[in-house]
Amino acid sequence: MTATATVQAKIDPVLKSRAEKSKKNVLNDELARSLDEAREDIENDRDIFRFNSNEDVFNYLDGLKK
């Protein structure tokens, strides 16, 4: 079983702001990389799954679990 706990800490506001900006940059970089890979897959006719709805996506993913 996983235990959880709440932790509170006081941190310098400038340091907090810098850390938040850094996190956003990392997420933006990851998103840009993923989009570039997807564009490459489309341009090179690699196997691409196309779905008509969110429900179709989840049904597909559920089928992978079996």
pLDDT tens digits in sequence order for the chain, 66 residues long: 678 889 898 999 999 998 888 888 888 888 889 999 988 988 998 887 889 999 999 999 999 887
CA distance 39 to 48: 11
Domain boundaries in the chain? Answer: 13-65
Cα–Cα distance for residue pair 52/7, rounded to 1 Å: 43
Query: What is the model's pTM?
Result: 0.44
The token duo for 16 is 């907090």
What pLDDT is recorded for position 1? 61
pLDDT at 59: 92
Write down the pLDDT at residue 57.
92
